[in-house]
Structure 1
């Protein structure tokens, strides 16, 4: 099946990443926004969305966040547009409508809303709305039990389950090996 038929472009996925890492942060921002605008003009909203989402995941860029919100709105994904615009400086009726859809998607769960924001938005301080959400999440987050730390909200830690499973597997293998060894030694 050809790449065009499969819905992929001919550019290898690592090509863009390699080029961005070789450039300065301002060049990568300009590239991401410029390339996303080119994708939009060509009717490839999905590609612009993916490019911008990858860019804002690690880089605080208000212009890219605003454009990401526009792309999501153009794709009729209002809650995702709301998440992007919530972290940007953009304001207006369309932003308010999208933010309301974003809040509705998460049932006003501030922790879920917080984690749906790109990491760069969560890490950047100075946006009054994001800072207020950060304070609300910190206030609503349950206190650690018995001095335990971390984001474990009362659940069982996956590492403990994996360690127990590996321990049981080790014991089973040891028993099987011991029984096999006895079978060889005792006729």
Structure 2
């Protein structure tokens, strides 16, 4: 493939990808990354996801590149290196790894690796998930209730002591 052919956008290239490429050509990698992250928060775009991985890799943010490339079909030494750095950053904590993927990747089903990570994250999150909020009247009191009761008791005790002290001043010996 010639250099010219590799830089020509396909007919399906999104505006965000085109603008990110222009940012890269102008030396604004950080701007390209922000643009791609924003774009991917709203919709799944395989080309933008690949480019985000490339931008992160070029910026030497290997864990971020690994998170982006994990949701793509891209393979190679650079991908393996980045995915390994991503896994190392999160200590193979599947919930954290799942959360670090772009939202559009998490919402899209059909990628075997992403779907497997989703299942693992759900399995590891289930036992540690706090119980759902109970309607008032059920379960134990919350911290705010305990604090309010303690302050009310303190107020009553101070009022009684003040009243007794006042009576002692008023009544003779």
How does the TM-score come out when normalised to structure 1? 0.64
Give structure 1 stretches of 5+ with no counterpart: 1-25, 151-159, 180-187
Residue 132 of structure 1 corresponds to: 116
* In structure 1, distance between residues paired with 2:26 and 2:128: 50
Change (3 A) 1:43 1:144: closer
Residue 65 of structure 1 corresponds to: 49
Give structure 2 stretches of 5+ with no counterpart: 1-10, 134-141, 160-173
Between 1 and 2, higher relative CO (CA 8 Å, sep ≥ 6) is seen in: 2
Q: Which runs of 4+ in 1 moved over 4 A?
A: none
Post-superposition Cα deviations, 1:47-84, rounded to whole Å, max 9, x if no partner, equal 00000001111211111000000000111100100000
Shift of 1:143: 3.4
Residue 103 of structure 1 corresponds to: 87
* In structure 2, distance between residues paired with 1:58 and 1:117: 13
Change (3 A) 1:83 1:164: farther
Change (3 A) 1:164 1:94: farther
Change (3 A) 1:144 1:106: closer
Shift of 1:90: 1.2
Spell out the pairing of 1:5-154 with structure 2 (5 A cutoff): 30-143=14-127, 148-149=131-132
SS at match of 2:66: helix
* In structure 2, distance between residues paired with 1:102 and 1:63: 20
Shift of 1:142: 2.9
SS at match of 1:60: coil
Shift of 1:148: 2.8
How does the TM-score come out when normalised to structure 2? 0.69
Post-superposition Cα deviations, 1:143-179, rounded to whole Å, max 9, x if no partner, equal 378x9338xxxxxxxxx66x659x84xx88xx8xxx9
Shift of 1:137: 1.0
